Amino acid sequence: MQYRKFGKLDWEVSALGFGAMRLPVFNGDSSKIDEPEATRMIRYAIDQGVNYVDTAYPYHGGNSEYVVGRILKDGYRQKVRLATKLPSWLIESYDDFDRYLNEQLQKLQTDHIDFYLLHSMNKNNWSKLEGLGVIEWAEKAKASGRIRYIGFSFHDDLKAFKQIIDANPGWDFCQIQHNYMDINNQAGTTGLRYAASKGLAVVIMEPLLGGRLVDPPQSVQKLWDTAPTQRNPADWALQWLWNQPEISVVLSGMSTMQQVEENVASAGKSDINLLFAGELELIDKVRDQYEELSPIPCTACEYCLPCTNELNIPDLFGIFNAGKMYDKLESARDAYARFVPEGKKASDCEACRDCEEKCPQQIPISEWMVHVDNVLSGRKNYDNYLEV
């Protein structure tokens, strides 16, 4: 296992961290974790040198923390630094901070959390928690020994990311979504470097974009096949991240022992500046090829917003495009069903065309909305919608 500097701390973290969000389950029910297999997987990773385990209050229907707590018995708790997250969306009062932390300590069967994150920070969640005094509370929790270090996980734009970092000089670390396809998405590469310049350790989530980078379309695989050094697509994605000195640890949510073994092996071969210029250029070509597979030329500039019907047009196009780009139609349909509320679907577009007048890409948005809903609602497939 390779180890890396963790921000300002006098401690080195394993290149690979174990994310307990996608543990093996029974019968496809995410709340029913296959605990014997999860135990085998996490303990194997720790035995191979992984020293960072990450979970959160809502993972696996609230059961991940219970299971992780049991897995880390028999001396394994002493071998790792443990991370979990405050469920920011459930916080309504200052007293809730202690209530949830104490519950998590009990579930995890530990007297302290090494790395405690404010979960899923965006400008709205941050504004709420800041107003309730979360920073003052966090310092008291650190002083009491219940948490050692404080950070946040993030899902918003670069401006919000910088605002949150600058609001608290006491941040120890942050967790961002990053991979070779997301260099300009959310915090992006600019945010990664900004956080590192402030001395924060940067933890990476979604390194494989929820598995979408593992089994690429044929046109992408043909590019990978041209590389002098052969790697599988997952290894390419991980090595691209580990190549960057600003990154402290890459989390992987592993569901099978094979994934654990392969990722541990990849981490063992990792290093900063491992990839040479030609390999980095190849990854750029792969990114370009994926983007060429995107049907709608939306750049998520948001000039189309606000929509008069309060639809999030870039998000709707993003779900549609991702399903086509990564050849993951069912995943796109699942995201549409789960994360786009009723009344905010593409079918709710009233074709007023106000957004089209503001779109720099001159996208016929109202026409695309019909196709987006037809495909993501299951009435049509990508191969039988009409090009606009």
**Domain annotation covers residue 291:** no
Q: Is residue 306 a part of any domain in this protein?
A: no
Give me the numbers of helices (H) and strands (E) for the chain, helices first please. 16, 12
Q: Are residues 144 and 185 in the same domain?
A: yes
> What's the pLDDT band for 252 if we cut at 50, 70, 90?
very high
Q: Within this chain, do residues 165 and 40 fall inside the same structural domain, yes or no?
A: yes
Residue 386 has pLDDT above 60, yes or no: no
Q: Does residue 153 share a domain with residue 277?
A: yes
Question: Domain span at residue 82?
Answer: 3-283
Counted domains in the chain:
2
- Residue 41, pLDDT above cutoff 80: yes
- Residues 152 and 201: their CA atoms lie apart, in Å, by 11
Share above pLDDT 70 across residues of the chain, in percent, rounded to a whole number: 99
pLDDT digits (tens, 9 = 90+) for 309-328: 999 999 999 999 999 999 99
Domain assignment present for residue 307? The answer is no
Domain end, chosen from 283, 301, 335, is at 283
Two structure tokens written together for 387 = 């090009």
Q: State whether the Cα torsion 324-327-332-333 is positive or negative.
A: positive
Average pLDDT, the chain: 95
56 and 100 both lie in a single domain: yes
Tell me phi and psi for residue 360, to 5 degrees: -65, -25
Residue 347 placed within a domain:
yes
> Which residue is listed with tokens 């209530």?
99
This prediction's pTM: 0.89
Q: Do 376 and 239 lie in a common domain?
A: no
Same domain flag for 68 and 125: yes
- Stretch 128-141: mean pLDDT: 97
Which domain-ending residue is among 283, 301, 324? 283
Digit-coded pLDDT (tens) for 209-230:
988 999 999 999 999 999 999 9
Going from the C-alpha of 129 to that of each of 91, 195, 380, the distances in angstroms are 8, 20, 43
Q: Is the same domain home to 277 and 319?
A: no
Asked if residue 251 has pLDDT above 80, the reply is yes
Q: How does DSSP classify residue 76?
A: T
Average pLDDT over residues 146-169: 96
CA distance 312 to 306: 8
Domain at 24, CATH number: 3.20.20.100
Helical H runs in 119-187? 123-131, 134-143, 158-167
Q: Does 218 share its domain with 353?
A: no
pLDDT at 13 over 70: yes
Q: Does position 388 have pLDDT exceeding 60, yes or no? A: no
Residues 86 and 205 in one domain: yes
Peptide bond into 306 cis (omega under 30): yes
What is the per-residue burial (b if ≥16 Cβ within 10 Å, else e) of 96-130?
A: bbeebbeebbebbebeebbbbbbbbbbeebbeebe
Residue 95 above 60 pLDDT?
Answer: yes
Chosen domain end from 268, 283, 298: 283
Question: Is the separation of the CB atoms in 152 and 174 below 8 Å?
Answer: yes
65 shares its domain with 183: yes
Pair (146, 215) in one structural domain: yes
Q: pLDDT tier at 233 (50, 70, 90 boundaries)? A: very high
The number of beta carbons lying within 10 Å of the beta carbon of residue 208 is 20
- Above 60 in pLDDT, residue 352? yes
